[in-house]
Structure 1
Amino acid sequence: MSWRRSALPILAWGALLAAGALALDWVGYQRLVRAHASDLYLFVVAAAFLIVGLVVGMKVLAAKPRADFDGNPQAVASLGISAREREVLELLAAGHANKEIADRLGVSPHTVKTHVARLLEKLEAKRRTDAIARARALGILR
């Protein structure tokens, strides 16, 4: 308890000195504000616009929740695309080569070529990119 009694006057003097230093600094800050008022106002307005811009930008550019994707089963059925052909189409759209698709699906590259040829025929496309674009347009692919 004795250390608290001796520390009390030290804390009081410290608080008094801190208040004096704060008062002197306040006078300096008042001079600074008067001398550069337009600069400070400009800074405050710019900071406000920055904050508003960031908030609005985050809301506008926020990722929108995607609707559930069903792959347009009506189009798949009407074109007669099999489940395996759809898998091949998805892997084609992901940019995989025939060999990679064959390895992923556990089939030979010749089988993949056959699936691709049938897809081109069913989607009435001349190239793979045309088939992918047509499938996306029909809602078969995302």
Structure 2
Amino acid sequence: MKLCNQASAPVLVFLTSSIAADHGIDLCLQLKALANVPSIFFLVDQPRRLPLDGTLLCDAIVSAASFGNGVVRDALVAISKGQCYRDPTLNSDDYPSTTVALKPREQQVLELLARGMSNKEIGFKLNIAAVTVRDYVQHLCRKFDALNRTDVVFKAISSGFLHHPSELL
């Protein structure tokens, strides 16, 4: 962490999916909280076991199976331009791309979900009941064909419904 803050040039941190999910999330949050925020490149060896919470904070997500196909170069170019990159091979049946239309209130709930807020916190912020927020989250899960709130945010980011993950913090 100290090296990131002392660096005069942009810093790139490589993580692999072999890191424990809870440790990876904590590390990503700590890195994104630094004054000199590094870019995070996440290498996935088993796409079906993506630790979704941690990948939301990454600037690039690449499958190890894609090595040699130019995706590492593409990811690094995207990062250098301040963009996110997601390996196209990760758009498999596990995370199908979908065309979704969101109502303005659903978009607001989605953005607050991405910040890690609870239903109660979202309700307070939007001046609606927590059970109403729960209903919106259920609608979002159906619209994005998501298993849970984390999956909704992951699919929303990969579908372009949310901004760069570091802008959500």
Bucket of the pairwise TM-score, normalised by the shorter protein: 0.3 to 0.5
Q: Which structure is higher in strand share?
A: 2
TM-score by length of 2: 0.41
Q: Which structure is higher in helix share?
A: 1
TM-score by length of 1: 0.48
Larger Rg: 1
